[in-house]
Chains A and B, each alone.
Chain A
Amino acid sequence: MSGRGQPAAFAPGTPVRVRLDWPETRGPVHIRTPHYLRGKPGTVVRLLGAFPNPEDLAFARPAEDRPLYHVAFAQDALWPDGRRGDRVLVELYEHWLEPAP
């Protein structure tokens, strides 16, 4: 939890979108953002803290602290058979989030 990374950019309640990016198609990676969230809209619920970026730790590279959030998604926005009103809560690093358009 050192201050090496940037300060948290998103406050609770902020609408965000998960980056529509597929680094796994470009070479060996380790990422913690599940495929079914890419490009999907969600809402920041809370900041969980800042943690060394696992995408670097996985390759034993120096890892900068990155803010980690709980982000909520409407289940029926992820899957056509999702139940309206149910939500999915996922831990996501800030560099996977962008402000909602």
Chain B
Amino acid sequence: MRMDTDTLRAHHDLGGVSKFLCEKVDIEPHALTDFDKEVDALRQILGMKRVVSVDELRRGIEAIPEDEYHRLSYYRRWVRSLTDNLIRKGVVTEAELRAALDRA
């Protein structure tokens, strides 16, 4: 039963996964960096303006490929999802994003 569940689950669906019986879970509070706070503020503005909802943010996070998902920090997953959402909705184009990153 458990084997089936572990095989069929989406990679982000980590609750109750047996490997965490052996791996210690880090439950220490983490200090927020300036980057984290900026991403959070961006998410709040996009939410208030009804551009990207929390549900869309979560869907975008869950769509990040598995290896990248586990490599990215919590707020890097957020910014990755926000970017994907904004491109999908045509709010920004990939070309505009690249140009802005080149200027930064």
Contact = CB atoms under 8 A, between A and B. Distances in A.
Interface of A: 22, 24-25, 28, 30, 34-36, 38, 54, 57-60, 78-81
Interface in B38-62: 53, 55-56, 58-59, 62
A58 B10 contact: no
B26 interface: no
Most buried by B among A30, A34, A59: A30
Given A58-B53, A60-B56, 7 more contacts: A28-B63, A34-B13, A35-B9, A35-B15, A54-B55, A57-B55, A57-B56
A24 B63 CA distance: 11
Interface in B46-89: 53, 55-56, 58-59, 62-63, 89
Main SS at interface, chain A: loop
Contacts of B91: none
Given A60-B53, A78-B16, A30 B9 contact: no
Nearest to A52: B55
A77 B79 CA distance: 38
B33 interface: no
Contacts of A57: 53, 55-56
B99 interface: no
B5 to A, nearest CB: 5
Contacts of B53: 57-58, 60
